[in-house]
Amino acid sequence: MVQDIPPFGDNKTFAGQDGPDGGHKTASNIGGAIRFASNKRDDISTDYLRRATIRRDVVIEPLMQLGCHADVVKESRTIVDFATLALLVNERVDIPGKCIAEDAPPRGGEDASMAPIMRVLQKEQDLSLLAVGTVVPSEYYTEADARSAVKYADHMLAMITERLNPSLGIDVQKKADARFDMSFKPGAHRR
């Protein structure tokens, strides 16, 4: 079952609909996929891109300066997550939904770079869950690992922002160091 509901888990009831406990359904107890109201998609996409950009512009550099390489990789993954969510909401992909790569419409050549980025950074996120709590020791990552993760995040954020710019009217600012580099291989510096 797919319901049009307000975004961000607003617990407003839906008249005439009974929830699992016999009461009215709310945004938090509706089963199935969540479909955002169409007039909110641009606001939600813009908000996700804004949050990704703030993390890139405000969080990453201080962490790099402090030598917190594991945190830089983790925040880079968060930037990619927010940018990807902006794209999914804007493209009207209901979350959760079944997405099969073979059924995807053909896109430009740059889109091919999204899958390897997501795989590498997802592996890094999965690795962080294996450690105590969700923290990977900083010495696991080198400065080169952190810089490469930031380049992944910069590439994804720029590519998605550029794609969404015509519909959202976002000011696209290219970073001087945003050249994409696929040299990041997690754990490559360890033997």
Q: Are 82 and 121 in contact (CB under 8 A)?
A: no
Q: Are residues 121 and 91 located together in one domain of the fold?
A: yes
105-145 per-position pLDDT tens digit: 555 555 666 667 666 666 655 555 555 555 556 677 889 98
Q: Are 138 and 70 in contact (CB under 8 A)?
A: yes
Q: Are residues 92 and 136 located together in one domain of the fold?
A: yes
What confidence category does residue 89 fall into, taking pLDDT thresholds of 50, 70 and 90? confident
Question: Is the pLDDT higher at 121 or at 152?
Answer: 152
Domain around 6: 1-36
Q: Are 52 and 79 in contact (CB under 8 A)?
A: yes
Rounded Cα–Cα distance for residues 55 and 69 (Å): 15
Q: Are residues 51 and 97 located together in one domain of the fold?
A: yes
This model's pTM is above 0.85: no
**Bridge partner list, 18:** 24
> Encoding tokens for residue 22?
């016999």
Q: Are residues 30 and 110 located together in one domain of the fold?
A: no
Burial class (CB in 10 A: 0-12, 13-18, 19+), 191: exposed
Q: How high is the pLDDT of residue 134?
A: 52
Q: How high is the pLDDT of residue 5?
A: 37
Total number of domains constituting the chain: 2
60-87 per-position pLDDT tens digit: 999 999 999 988 988 999 999 999 999 8
38-65 per-position pLDDT tens digit: 557 788 888 999 999 999 999 999 999 9
Q: Are residues 74 and 61 located together in one domain of the fold?
A: yes
CB atoms within 10 A of CB 104: 9
Q: Are residues 70 and 136 located together in one domain of the fold?
A: yes
